[in-house]
Amino acid sequence: MDAFTMVVLACVAGEAKCSSVRISEMGFTTAAACEARIDDITRSMTKEFAKRPDFKGRQVSYDVSCMDRAQLAQKFGISSSDT
């Protein structure tokens, strides 16, 4: 069974660039399992942002996707993942 990968795009208000993170876990064997972890992971990321004094009081927005290997390849333009 193909595992899913979570792709998180986190944007802090006022910042020119957003941060992106790919998270793969062995427990992500279905999209539902991946989606079940979204709140935990975004909560943890928000806590990390809150530790930065320059981000104090700024809003953070997230765009989160759970994708299997074929979807990742298509989204990021990977032509072959056989290697």
* Token pair for 60: 């953070």
Query: Does any domain span residue 44?
Result: yes
Distance CA 54, CA 67 (A): 33
The DSSP line for 23-70 is EE-TT-SSHHHHHHTHHHHHHHHHHHHHTSGGGTT--EEEEEEEE-HH
Query: Does any domain span residue 35?
Result: yes
- How many structural domains comprise the chain? 1
For the entire predicted model, the pTM comes to 0.77
pLDDT by position in tens, the chain (length 83): 578 999 999 999 999 999 999 998 888 999 899 999 999 999 999 999 999 999 988 999 999 999 998 888 888 777 655 44
Query: Does any domain span residue 60?
Result: yes
What pairs with residue 20 in β-bridges? 9
